Amino acid sequence: MKIFLDSADISEIKDLVQTGMVDGVTTNPSLIAKSGRDFKEVIAEISTLVSHGPVSAEVTSFDYETMMKEAEVLRKISDNIAIKVPLTIDGLRVCRALSSDNTLVNVTLCFTANQALLAAKAGAAFISPFLGRLDDLGMDGTDLISDIADIYMNYPEFETEILAASIRSTKHVQDVALLGADVATLPGKIIKAMYDHPLTYKGLETFEKDWKATGQSIL
Ligand code: G3P
């Protein structure tokens, strides 16, 4: 499973990219607002830092014509830009037009399996089902990943990757990996929480103590 970083925070991106665990970056208008930076500038900077993977940049209007104009500006920023469009009928039209033109499209704000089916038919490179926001409504977001995975499996001609989004916990990450999500986009704190385990640190303390007692050195 690929791991994307869900962030527009340059220092966080720099920090985590050097771990070698980050395969791409996703942003959205809320994350851009949180960064306090100019949208196009920050996307250009992220694209340079993560030149090895896709960087999702989201359009901000709702009608087909304006979304197409925005996509035209965004995709010129770098070759690794994936245009993020909302799962509306206009968004799906934009997805069809851009994907026919070999542009990666990430269809976002997906809350049902039928929406994911339409995104695949529209040629999306990624579908972004939002787990956490379904959990917020008392539903089980992981059921959605499971349904989409089953549907996509029935139609091998679909090339759309399942990009699990709105991930709020390490349990979510494990659940979507077990269900075969192609990608999970994660806030930095979740990536860090994935490797932190108290027993790892406790084990290291013991090994360090025992090693020192031998008086040896590897170097
Ligand atoms: O990038 C979209 C998504 O990951 C948002 O997550 O926590 O705002 O629901 P959240």
pLDDT tens across 48-105, in order?
Answer: 999 999 999 999 999 999 999 999 999 999 999 999 999 999 999 999 999 999 999 9
Q: Measured from the CA of 108, which atom of ligand 1 is nearest?
A: 2
Ligand 1 pocket check for 58: Cβ under 6 Å? no
Q: Measured from the CA of 31, which atom of ligand 1 is nearest?
A: 1
Give distance in angstroms: CA of 33 to centre of ligand 1: 14
Burial class (CB in 10 A: 0-12, 13-18, 19+), 155: exposed
Provide the pLDDT confidence category of residue 116 given band limits of 50, 70 and 90: very high
Parallel, antiparallel or unpaired: strands 81-86 and 24-26:
unpaired
Q: Percent of the chain scored above 70 by pLDDT? A: 100
**Structure confidence at residue 25 (pLDDT):** 98
Active-site position among 14, 34, 40, 84? 84
**Structure confidence at residue 110 (pLDDT):** 98
Alpha-carbon distance of 37 to 87, in angstroms, equals 26
Angle subtended at Cα 2 by Cα 176 and Cα 29, rounded to the nearest 5 degrees: 85
Name, in order, each residue with C-beta under 8 angstroms of 139's C-beta and a sequence gap of 6 or more. none
pTM over 0.85: yes
What is the fold, at CATH topology level, of the domain defined by 2-214? TIM Barrel (3.20.20)
What pLDDT digit, counting tens, does each position of 197-209 carry? Answer: 999 999 999 999 9
Give distance in angstroms: CA of 143 to centre of ligand 1: 17
What pLDDT digit, counting tens, does each position of 24-57 carry? Answer: 999 999 999 999 999 999 999 999 999 999 999 9
**Structure confidence at residue 122 (pLDDT):** 98
Residue of the nearest CA to atom 7 in ligand 1? 166
Give the pLDDT mean for 2-10: 98
Give distance in angstroms: CA of 128 to centre of ligand 1: 10
Ligand 1 pocket check for 164: Cβ under 6 Å? no
Residue of the nearest CA to atom 4 in ligand 1? 166
Q: How many CB atoms lie within 10 A of CB 143?
A: 13
Asked if 84 is an active-site residue, the reply is yes
Q: Measured from the CA of 128, which atom of ligand 1 is nearest?
A: 2
Q: Measured from the CA of 165, which atom of ligand 1 is nearest?
A: 4
What pLDDT digit, counting tens, does each position of 143-179 carry? Answer: 999 999 999 999 999 999 999 999 999 999 999 999 9
